[in-house]
Structure 1
Amino acid sequence: MYPGDNIIVIGDHPKDAILSKNLNCPFIGVLTGLHSLDDLKSINLSNYMIIDSVSDLIIDDIYSLI
């Protein structure tokens, strides 16, 4: 969709996951307590990861998605 760019959506809301699906890009869900793991997984994404906190995110996780 954006040639030459690697886009990853990071968010804590199912709407963020839907945006990722619409952009056809990976999604990193962050469990901030506003929405559950099941809420984020219910979007049925093919390329995603769910983490407990942004501080848990490491560069290798990002590279594994792109």
Structure 2
Amino acid sequence: MKIDIPVWKKYTLSIEEAAEYFRIGRSRLREIASENPDADFILSNGNRIQIKRKKFEEFIDNASVI
């Protein structure tokens, strides 16, 4: 049985989910992750990148350009 959790309630988002949620391209999100490997909004699960939703929201709030 699979439980569907709404994106706005998830703690972490996949690149695809984050791209749709934040309306930022997948390639740009991967660039941001590679440019900020030690950022607190990045969680690596093996070779998969997960975006911590609330932390990334804070990052975007403080950014002037994405």
TM-score w.r.t. structure 2 length?
0.25
Structure number having the greater helix percentage: 2
